[in-house]
Chain A
Amino acid sequence: MEFLSNRFFLIALTVGVFFAARSLQQKTRQVWLNPILISIIVLISYLKITGISYDDYMKAGTMVDFWLQPTIVALGVPLYLQLKAIRQRWLPVLLSQVAGCVVGITVCVFVARWTGASEPIIRSLAAKSVTMPIAIEVTNTLGGVSALTAAVVVFVGLFGNLAGLGLLRLFGISDPKAGGLSMGAASHALGTARAWERGRMWGTYSSLGLILSGIVTALLAPALVRWLM
């Protein structure tokens, strides 16, 4: 039975479950069969059934978790490639990202407080719009619960993927560049995936929104949340 908590077995299990879930999604083409979501559910069930603690799991988990930070650095490559695209439009692009970030975080903090969320929960929700590695880093800086952020980030991404384009139509956002920026800023990689399906311009600007909203949030969220709390 000791094998069930073997470090290398747990790493293999994590990676194996993830890729199985991903190929399941690619075959069925269902958004809600999100590989992250499925993997989390399967792995939590496994740990509950075998009685392995999260701390023991994380001895293996850190080996996978380690790659989050290098992945953020890797986002510098598409950022560099897209710098050329925004050279003439940097003002509206940057302004829209700052506005979306500041208003989004402010509304999130106030609504959470009004509906009765406790302080650590509010701190965990502030960065939920941006791409997962940055959201987790920001939550750690804010002193929130990063696991909750991870779950909410997936939820937000699924919502944006499913409802984002409809919302934009409803609110009269018809410019592909504006719509793309919204998709990336509000629902990160999952929204961006949907934006690429809509069109090239949508996808490019969505990728841009994804990266820039991450940077803007990392820069502004700590001070903003401290001020709002």
Chain B
Amino acid sequence: MLKQIAILLSCLALGHLVVWAVGVSFPGSIVGMLLMAAALQMGIIRLESVKGISDVLISNMSLFFVPNGVGLMLYFDIIKAEFWPIVIATLVSTVVVFVVTGWCYQAVRRIRLMRVIRMRRARTSI
């Protein structure tokens, strides 16, 4: 398990190194995630040598948010003052994300399917 943690932390460190070297403000952890996926794809890291720790962390992910969430106690005043803007903006935009994502996927698939059908028809009419 410790070796798996070491591999994971190496990817994370490398991600932060890349962000620092490029000099943009971007989460190093996300670069680390992409590096992890790329290293697995290229066979640099074997799946068995990270699968265990990855499953443990992901299935207990919620726990790691708690300390951040406790920080809410510092912001009760702002939240009370801007309660409705927060709730309305959150609800409206969440519904929008649901609808736009689903519709967009279905629309692109439909356009592709129609193209395939048209090509088949063209072929059979010859």
Contacts and interface: CB of A to CB of B under 8 A. Distances in A.
Contact of A73 (B11, B63, B85): B11
B91 A159 contact: yes
Contact of A76 (B33, B64, B74): B33
B67 A182 contact: no
Interface of B: 5, 8-9, 11-12, 15, 25-30, 32-37, 40-41, 47, 50-51, 53-54, 57-58, 61-75, 78-79, 82, 84-86, 88-106, 108-109, 112
A209 B50 CA distance: 22
Interface of A: 14-15, 18-19, 22, 35-36, 39-40, 43-44, 47-48, 54, 57-58, 61-62, 64-65, 67-80, 83, 89, 91-93, 95-97, 99-101, 103-105, 107-108, 111-112, 115-118, 120-122, 125, 128-129, 131-134, 136-138, 140-141, 145-148, 150-156, 159-160, 164, 167-168, 171, 173, 175, 177-179, 181-183, 185-187, 189, 209, 213-215, 218-219, 222
Contact of A104 (B65, B67, B100): B100
A96 B98 CA distance: 10
Nearest to A72: B29
Nearest to B25: A141
A50 to B, nearest CB: 12
19 contacts: A18-B62, A48-B73, A54-B73, A57-B67, A68-B68, A69-B28, A70-B8, A71-B57, A72-B27, A72-B32, A74-B57, A78-B58, A99-B101, A101-B97, A103-B96, A104-B97, A148-B78, A148-B79, A171-B103
Given A118-B78, A185-B98, 15 more contacts: A36-B66, A36-B69, A39-B69, A54-B73, A74-B53, A74-B57, A76-B37, A76-B40, A77-B40, A79-B37, A92-B109, A111-B93, A147-B75, A159-B94, A181-B101
Contact of B69 (A107, A141, A150, A218): A150
A173 B99 CA distance: 8
Which applies to chain B's interface (DSSP): helix, strand, loop or mixed? helix
B102 A83 contact: no
Contacts of A69: 12, 28-29, 32
Contacts, number: 318
A183 B101 CA distance: 9
Contact of A175 (B40, B92, B93, B105): B105
A152 B89 CA distance: 11
A187 B94 contact: yes
B32 to A, nearest CB: 4
B78 A146 contact: no
A56 to B, nearest CB: 12
A178 B106 contact: yes
Contact of B84 (A47, A115, A118, A137): A115
Given A80-B37, A95-B108, A112-B85, A147 B74 contact: yes
A118 B69 contact: no
A141 B26 contact: yes
